[in-house]
Amino acid sequence: MAGAAALGTVSQLWRYPASSLAGERMDAISVDRATVDGDRLFGLVDASDGEIARPDREAKWHKVPLIRTRLSEDRRLEVAVPGGDWLPAPDPRSDRAISTFLGFEASIRPFGQENAAPAYAGPLTEARYRKAPIHLLTTASLARLKALHPQGAPDPRRFRPNIVVDMVPIEGSFPETEWIGRKLAIGDLLLTVSEPCRRCGFTIIAQDGFDTDPGILRNLVRHNAHNLGVYCTVDRPARVEIGAPMRFV
């Protein structure tokens, strides 16, 4: 491994404390066997029926990715609607702010009691997706998408990666999609690329700084079998920082 040339370096790191809400950009993340520390601990539901947010399928949820999230130093969730202050969640104050922003009664709920504050006695919800440990995306693939769809904005936030690796573009290629089964070292973290990440309607939704764009998904369907980026399993957990090199093992 020591002699392998670097494929690229880590340029962005993300975790998503609440599913479907905006992610939290990090200088470093801690990765264990199952997940990124602090990733996808909470969900947003329709308070009338407990339905979990589906921005990829229902227009009523399309503004959800505009709601910011972060974890405090004591690992409590805080959320902020556009133009609003940071508020603790789950909490009636944040639920009211989110409900007003969305136009219907909505509520933040933990995916398990272990994710809630000790005093929390409210309802729980269940994660909608099977959670892959790591979602990795290269700037080379983003550059390929931009070449196919020059008028589009293939911002990483459309795709919700944990790790973005800055990598020289390869003409005509979404490179990581071709790495299934290969092993990667990112700093001290060891990963196996397990499967391509199949994209959904979430990728076309407007977020802060870019507009709704069906051409994003249309080009991925046409040119890369619906896929962008890859899921990885963890062979050796580690802390990863911005600037860490990525190599094949």
> Token pair for residue 174?
């979404």
The domain over range 8-35+131-248 is classified in CATH as 2.60.40.10: no
This prediction has a pTM of 0.95
Helix (H) or strand (E) holding 146: helix 139-148
> Given phi > 0 = left and psi -120 to 50 = alpha, else beta, which region is 242?
beta
- Whole-number Å distance between alpha carbons of 244 and 8: 9
pLDDT tens digits, residue range 190-226? 999 999 999 999 999 999 999 999 999 999 999 999 9
**Confidence class of residue 4 from pLDDT cuts 50, 70 and 90?**
confident
pLDDT tens digits, residue range 100-127? 999 999 999 999 888 888 888 899 998 8
pLDDT tens digits, residue range 148-199? 999 999 999 999 999 999 999 999 999 999 999 999 999 999 999 999 999 9
Domain assignments of the chain as residue spans, ordered by start: 8-35+131-248, 42-115
Helix axes of 214-224 and 139-148: crossing angle, nearest 10 degrees: 100
Instruction: Tell me the C-alpha to C-alpha distance, in Å, between residue 20 and each of 55, 65, 190.
Output: 7, 6, 27
Half-sphere exposure of 231 (CA within 13 A, CB side): 14
- Whole-number Å distance between alpha carbons of 107 and 18: 12
Contact criterion met (CB below 8 Å) for 10 and 21: no
**Confidence class of residue 3 from pLDDT cuts 50, 70 and 90?**
low
Find all residues with CB under 8 Å of 193, minimum gap 6, and list them: 136, 176, 179, 180, 181, 182, 183, 184, 230, 231, 232
